[in-house]
């Protein structure tokens, strides 16, 4: 039974335990003014999480939070941003100069990557009481390498997540300090990840739920209130929830239903163009996607190709060239007949992280339509299947015919992600497909374990046929905190890895020591329509996010939502 949530920031008489273990009972003098307006709630009751997340979107929100005695405050940022002309301290502590001085002395005493907590006396002419404060100091930008986020976004997430862990029933108020507006989105995305939205643990009827989490970004002494504060956090959290959901909950049918739910929430600007299921996929030649989902379809878990389209209010021509997001949505991956080990199979519910990131990035972009002037249509294509074993499973040595018309000899049924994406990009790039006319195709997938060997757990592997897009994605990755690092794009070197004596190509490489992640991306590119590739106004981008799609503890990170949101805006802002 879900506990009733209290009004946000409603002051109350509470027992406040300091690190000295002394209990202090305090009450705000200005109870009537300590109520904050309802900020955006980034939550869905279906996630069953222990707490909700909301954004602090105005200076008044921050002032009201300061007058709340049942909150644990967490502050994260580099020293320069936290101490910048005293602006952050004034925003956080208002007219309470003693609290501001104590805070600044604490910050000055800390080295980078250090965390310290204290209790501040918040008594002033406006309010009285004590405030538990945790300060997490991030490295300065000058100390960050060129391949990292300048605000140390990953460290920011880890520090804030650890700091709110013991809040129990208290609310947590988390403020990130940045010194440039360009980094506000990255800080917001970092904070959106700190409270896992999904759980399926038993909860007794009288269980005490964890307190709400409020997050905000301070830049130049003011609460940042960009459109992303209302679009990104829920989208990031939805992505995390989908990745963490058990495969018996997130079946192919359930994933299709989730796409419909998102489309319904977004209103008239989003249209469900079509949803193809197993029989239609087979009939229309989507042999790769249908093949991967063939075994599970025998039990009623049909594969699907889902196409949603967002037409922004600023779009003059709805038929103008679009941007297409194509996501791998393998709801569970046994490996097929090339069966994974018992240890290797655990966690394969997360193999739909690419499609989850694409769906949620699409959601975040459409949610900003009312506050923005986007012009470019956005197509979302989800390639959803379960790679199961059974009488209908594809076999090594089988030959599949993809939507591109090219034949694929199967030499590894556990290299299924590239198969479903092959049909996805063929669908998007087909000149005969009037429903989708993109000038940029972006595919994203938890594709290869080799990606983690090549670029690690925090950087996605990036393969693209456009040098401009390569630089753009890497730059936006550093800004948003969804890091990406370029891998070689060299079709002339990698196509031979898929040579087959009986088909156009095999689906897995001959030499596993030869740039596997680049080769996997190249397999997908092999199924782009040649007429689309030959145009001088198109670009293909592939993101392999097997590593950054999850935190090290296995929970979903929400990777890709902020990056793709920024990438869409970058492309949309350019002249066609």
Question: What pLDDT shows up at residue 524?
Answer: 98
CATH 3.40.50.10590 in the chain is located at: 14-224
Return the pLDDT at 46.
Answer: 80
- Over residues 239-290, the pLDDT tens digits come to 999 999 999 999 999 999 999 999 999 999 999 999 999 999 999 999 999 9
Domain span(s) for CATH 3.40.630.10 in the chain: 233-499+515-521+543-573
CA 543 to chain centre: 13
d(CA 68, CA 6): 13
**161, 418, 478, 506: which is the annotated catalytic residue?**
418
Cα–chain center distance at 294 = 29
Band (37; pLDDT cuts 50, 70, 90): very low
pLDDT above 70 as % of the chain: 91
Task: Find the DSSP H helices in 150-226.
Answer: 153-163, 184-192
CA 126 – CA 142 distance, rounded (Å): 39
User: What are the tokens at 387?
Assistant: 């790679």
Active-site residue 340, yes or no?
yes
Range 233-499+515-521+543-573: architecture per CATH: 3-Layer(aba) Sandwich (3.40)
Report percent pLDDT > 90 for the chain.
80
Q: Where are the alpha helices (DSSP H) in 37-96?
A: 59-66, 79-83, 87-93
Residue 31 predicted with pLDDT over 80: no
Per residue in 180-212, pLDDT (tens digit) is: 999 999 999 999 999 999 988 877 777 777 889
Catalytic residue among 48, 90, 271, 340: 340
In this structure, CATH architecture of domain 14-224 = 3-Layer(aba) Sandwich (3.40)
Q: Which helix (H) or strand (E) holds 474?
A: helix 467-480
Q: Comparing 472 with 100, which gets the higher pLDDT? A: 472
Are 130 and 68 a contacting pair, CB within 8 Å?
A: no
Q: What is the pLDDT of residue 86?
A: 93
| 187 HSE (CA, 13 A, CB side) | 29
Q: What is the DSSP string of 82-137?
A: HHGGGHHHHHHHTT-HHHHHHHHHHHHHPPTT-EEEEEEE--SSS---EEEEEEEE
Measured at the CA of 400, the angle between CA 394 and CA 406, to 5 degrees, comes to 160
Q: What is the structure's pLDDT at 166?
A: 85
**What integer pLDDT is reported at residue 128 of this predicted model?**
54
According to DSSP, the β-strands at 378-387 and 304-310 are antiparallel
Q: Quick check: 134 and 115 in contact, CB under 8 A?
A: yes
Let me know if 116 is a catalytic residue: no
pLDDT at position 237: 96
11 pLDDT more than 60: no
Minimal CA–CA distance to 90: which of 57, 72, 66? 66
pLDDT in tens, 330-374: 999 999 999 999 999 999 999 999 999 999 999 999 999 999 999
- Tell me the C-alpha distance between 460 and 463, whole Å: 10
pLDDT in tens, 524-558: 999 999 999 999 999 999 999 999 999 999 999 99
Q: 351 and 446 in contact (C-beta within 8 Å)? A: yes
Q: Is the Cβ–Cβ distance between 170 and 69 less than 8 Å?
A: no
| Both structure tokens of 100 | 């501001």
Backbone phi, psi, residue 143, to 5°: -95, -5
pLDDT digits (tens, 9 = 90+) for 123-145: 555 555 677 899 999 999 999 99
* pLDDT score for 509: 97
Write down how long the chain is. 576
- How far is Cα 415 from Cα 493, in angstroms, rounded to an integer? 20
Q: Which of 52, 568, 569, 517 is nearest to 358 (CA)?
A: 568
């Amino acid at each position: 039974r879900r506990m009733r949530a209290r009004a946000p920031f409603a002051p109350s008489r509470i027992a406040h335990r300091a690190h000295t273990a002394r209990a202090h009972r305090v009450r705000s003098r200005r109870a009537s003014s300590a109520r904050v307006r309802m900020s955006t709630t980034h939550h869905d009751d279906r996630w069953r999480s222990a707490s909700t997340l909301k954004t602090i979107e105005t200076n008044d929100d921050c002032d009201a939070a300061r007058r709340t005695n049942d909150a644990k405050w967490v502050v994260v940022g580099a020293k320069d941003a936290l101490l910048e002309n005293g602006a952050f301290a004034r925003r956080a502590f208002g007219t309470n100069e003693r609290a501001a001085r104590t805070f600044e002395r604490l910050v000055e005493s800390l080295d980078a990557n250090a965390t310290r907590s204290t209790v501040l006396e918040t008594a002033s002419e406006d309010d009285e009481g004590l405030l538990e404060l945790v300060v997490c100091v991030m490295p300065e930008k000058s100390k960050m390498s060129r391949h990292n986020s300048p605000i140390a976004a990953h460290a920011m997430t880890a520090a804030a997540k650890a700091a709110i862990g013991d809040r129990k029933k208290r609310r947590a108020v988390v403020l990130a300090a940045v010194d440039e507006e360009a980094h506000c989105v990255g800080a917001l995305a970092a904070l959106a990840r700190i409270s896992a939205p999904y759980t399926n643990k038993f909860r007794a009827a009288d269980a005490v739920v964890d307190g709400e989490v409020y997050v905000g970004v301070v830049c130049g002494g003011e609460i940042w209130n960009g459109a992303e504060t209302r679009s990104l956090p829920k989208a990031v959290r939805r992505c995390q929830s989908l990745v963490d959901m058990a495969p018996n909950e997130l079946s192919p049918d359930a994933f299709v239903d989730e796409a419909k739910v998102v489309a319904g929430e977004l209103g008239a600007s989003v249209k469900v163009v079509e949803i193809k299921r197993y029989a239609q996929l087979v009939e229309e030649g989507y042999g790769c996607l249908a093949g991967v989902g063939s075994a599970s379809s025998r039990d009623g878990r049909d594969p699907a190709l889902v196409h949603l389209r967002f037409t922004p209010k600023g779009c003059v021509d709805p038929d103008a060239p679009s941007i297409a997001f194509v996501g791998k949505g393998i709801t569970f991956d046994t490996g097929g007949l090339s069966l994974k080990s018992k240890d290797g199979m655990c966690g394969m519910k997360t193999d739909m992280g690419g499609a989850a990131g694409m769906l949620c990035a699409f959601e975040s972009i459409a949610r900003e339509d009312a506050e923005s002037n986007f012009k470019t249509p956005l197509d979302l294509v989800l390639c959803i299947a379960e790679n199961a074993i059974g009488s209908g499973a594809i076999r090594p040595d089988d030959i599949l015919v993809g939507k591109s018309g090219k034949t694929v000899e199967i030499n590894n049924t556990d290299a299924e992600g590239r198969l479903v994406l092959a049909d996805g990009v063929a669908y998007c790039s087909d000149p005969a497909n009037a429903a989708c006319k993109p000038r940029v195709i972006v595919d994203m997938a938890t594709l290869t374990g080799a990606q983690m060997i090549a670029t690690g757990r925090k950087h996605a592997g990036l393969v693209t046929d456009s040098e401009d897009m390569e630089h753009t994605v890497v730059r936006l990755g550093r800004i948003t905190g969804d890091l990406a690092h370029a891998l070689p794009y060299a079709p002339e070197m990698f196509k031979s890895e898929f040579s087959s004596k009986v088909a156009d190509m095999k689906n897995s490489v001959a030499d596993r020591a030869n740039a596997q992640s680049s080769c996997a991306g190249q397999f997908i590119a092999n199924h782009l329509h040649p007429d689309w590739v030959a145009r001088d106004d198109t670009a293909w981008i592939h993101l392999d996010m097997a590593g950054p799609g999850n935190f090290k503890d296995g929970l979903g990170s929400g990777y890709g939502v902020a990056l793709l949101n920024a990438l869409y805006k970058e492309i949309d802002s350019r002249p066609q």
